[in-house]
A = this chain, B = another copy of it.
Amino acid sequence: MVVGAGFGGLNTVRGLVGSGAEVTIVDRDNYHGFWPLLYQVATAGLSPEDIAYPIRAIFSGNPQVTVRHAVVTGLDLEARKVRLDRGEDLAYEYLVLATGSSTADFGIAGVAEHAFPLKTLRDALRLRNHVLRAFEEADGEPPGSDGLLTVLLVGGGPTGVELAGALAELIGTNLAADFPHLDVSRARVLLLEATDHVLGGFSTKSQQEALRALSARGVEVRLGAKLAEVTPDGVRLSDGSEIPARTVVWTAGVRANPLGELVPGAKAPNGAVPVSSDLSLPEHPEVFVIGDLAAVTDKRGRPLPQLAQVAIQGGKHTARTIRHRLAGEPSTAFRYHNHGIMATIGRGSAVAELPGGFKLQGTVGWLSWLVVHLVFLIGFRNRVLVLVNWAWNYVTFDRASRVILDDVGPAPADPLTPRPSGPSLGQAL
């Protein structure tokens, strides 16, 4: 049984197809989300459906695979049972936990209440609606100093950098044309980062290229800026200064999904579950933890990054391990192969660092970013749609998904629906 249909869970199930094993995959959503492109949904470049693929469609016509649209509310590792929110108890022989990470606010006041996270499709649509609505509200009103048109992003990691670049392009190109009677130069995109560099984990050269590309797009980057509090009207920094901002986006922190709390034993500081070298639990070798939910270190003892590739490779390895176990063979240690890291700053600009010290940037980096993301995007139709959208956006500078569409409910009374900004159990990836 596999919990979570993100990169890790999907690759586990795929690796088990044809093994003869009956596989059940559980996820709180009925789709697999391709989160590396989530920021493009938030900035009106893509539709939610472009990056969401129905889980059942992936395994359609395969009776070996059972899909459950449910939230895991309990684990009984001794009895080898998983409890679902609908009251169902499912027994398992092998269990793979792959629910990824959730937003963490590090205890900073106001983050949960006033900042927008960007971890789910709902988050992306809420952010899109909110930013577009702010421009509608500003149109026809006298200019104020209230930060109505300020989007402030906290966290200079890949999500913050990619979102900042895309927001600056959305505002500077599309919204400037949409609002001829509004002085769009009033709008600001600010990126706050607590350390002295963006894109931690990248080389200094890439970090500087990212800063240059952000600055060229009008993004104001503030390094060494430590957040003290998010308020309804903006943020307060640890030096006491305040920045008014109607929209505050929190991309600074993630921690392991709360499902990890249901696993007995000590956790890593970020909530991740410590595992043996084959990604199983030391006390329960029939239970595997992979992806962001697992605390795994590399040869030098450093924790593996929270990347899709770690989850994908962990899923494939776990499927192989289970096949070995079913055949009575010993399992092997998981070893992560670095395929490189990349981040895009906007139209025609990206940084990529490949194994062996190869670095790409600018247009070449951007094209390689496009190709890699298209190849990993699941489903031919989604690839075609994303390609059409990208080609359209590239040729016309348009972002046609800038529709405000909220209050899509009614919110069902069941716990399948996560509350805004509160992490909940069983959230995939």
Contact = CB atoms under 8 A, between A and B. Distances in A.
B61 A30 contact: no
A62 B177 CA distance: 9
A133 B88 contact: no
Nearest to A392: B381
B404 A381 contact: no
A113 to B, nearest CB: 11
Contacts of A129: 408
B405 A382 contact: no
A54 interface: yes
A121 interface: yes
B60 A177 contact: yes
Given A30-B136, A177-B61, A381 B400 contact: yes
A49 interface: yes
Given A405-B48, A410-B420, A66 B122 contact: no
Interface string A31-70: 1000000000000000111101110110011110011110
A179 interface: yes
A20 B379 CA distance: 49
Contacts of A31: 403-404
B402 A54 contact: yes
A403 B140 contact: no
A132 interface: yes
Contact of A409 (B53, B88, B140, B409): B409
A286 interface: no
A389 B381 CA distance: 8
Given A47-B48, A122-B408, A406-B417, A400 B30 contact: no
Interface string A357-401: 000000000000000000000010110110011001000101011
Nearest to A41: B49
B49 A403 contact: yes
Contact of A408 (B88, B125, B132, B174): B125
Contacts of A382: 400
Contacts of A408: 122, 125-126, 129, 405-409
Interface in A80-135: 86, 88, 121-122, 125-126, 129, 132-133
A180 interface: yes
A63 B61 CA distance: 54
B126 A57 contact: no
A363 to B, nearest CB: 24
B420 A29 contact: no
A178 interface: yes
Interface in A152-176: 174
A411 interface: yes
B178 A404 contact: no
A412 interface: yes
Nearest to A123: B408
Contacts of A66: 181
B407 A417 contact: yes
Given A68-B140, A420-B410, A400 B181 contact: no
B402 A180 contact: no
A397 to B, nearest CB: 11
Contact of A420 (B137, B177, B409): B409
Contacts of A400: 49, 53-54, 57, 379, 381-382
Top 3 nearest A-B pairs (CB, nearest first) are A56-B178, A69-B136, A408-B408
16 contacts: A30-B402, A31-B404, A47-B47, A47-B48, A49-B401, A53-B400, A63-B180, A88-B140, A121-B405, A122-B408, A126-B410, A379-B400, A381-B392, A385-B385, A407-B409, A408-B408
Given A29-B404, A86-B137, 16 more contacts: A30-B402, A47-B48, A48-B403, A57-B400, A68-B140, A69-B139, A122-B405, A122-B407, A125-B405, A129-B408, A133-B412, A385-B389, A407-B409, A407-B411, A407-B418, A408-B409
